[in-house]
Amino acid sequence: MAKAVTRDFEIFIETVADTGADNTALDMMDYVDIADNQAFEIHEVSLVLDPTEAFPAADVEARFQLADANLTTFVSHADRASLYVARQTFDSATLGMFHQESFSSITPLIVSKTLFLRNVCSTGTLDYTLRLKGRIVTPSAKDYMALVLTQTGNLA
C-alpha cells in the first residue's frame, strides 16, 4: 500500500479546446514537487466548461483524453495509457448539455511525472478547466508490481 506523503490536494489547469486535435504536456512538477521514488496518486478527475465561457451559440461537441503517454490520436479508453475520457455536447436549440466521462482508477499512480491532455472541439474554441484531485505517495513494492502488471496487461 502506498504511503501518503501529502494530504489530498487539487490542481486546476486551464485549457482551450479548438478544432485541432492537440496534445498538451502537463508536467506535474509545475504544480507540485514529486521526489524520486514518489508518485502522484490521482483520486478524481473532472473537466468543466470554464465559467468565463458563454454557452456556445452553435451546436458543439468537445472530446478530451488524459493519458500518461503522448498519444498521437485519440485511443480507446480500454488502452492502458488512457486515464480519463470526456465528451461534452452542447445543443444551442434547447440550451442542453450532454456529457459522458470515465476515469480509470485502476492505474491512479502516475510515476512518469508528465500527463498528456488531448482535446478537440467540433467548431470554434472553448475554454475549459481540468481538475485533478490526489496526493503524493511513496509506492510500495506491491504498488510498483501492480502498476507494471496493469500496464503490460498481465492481470489475472
10-45 tens-digit pLDDT: 999 999 999 998 899 999 888 888 888 888 888 999
CA end-to-end distance (rounded Å), the chain: 19
Secondary structure class of 92 (helix, strand, coil): coil
Cα gap 27→98, rounded to integer Å: 30
Look up the CATH architecture of domain 3-74+82-152: Sandwich (2.60)
Domain boundaries along the sequence of the chain? 3-74+82-152
Residue 150 has what pLDDT? 64
Residues 92-110 have pLDDT tens digits of 999 999 999 999 766 577 7
CA of residue 29 relative to chain centroid, distance: 16
Closest CA to 108 of 26, 45, 33: 45
Cα gap 150→20, rounded to integer Å: 31
pTM of the model: 0.84
Residue 152 has what pLDDT? 57
Cα gap 27→43, rounded to integer Å: 18
Cα 144 to Cα 10, 27, 37, 119, 150, distances in angstroms: 24, 21, 10, 30, 10
Instruction: Report which residue type is found at 66.
Output: L
Specify the DSSP element, H or E, that contains 39.
strand 39-49
Grid coordinates belonging to 17: 479546446
Closest CA to 26 of 61, 70, 79: 70
Residue 154 has what pLDDT? 44
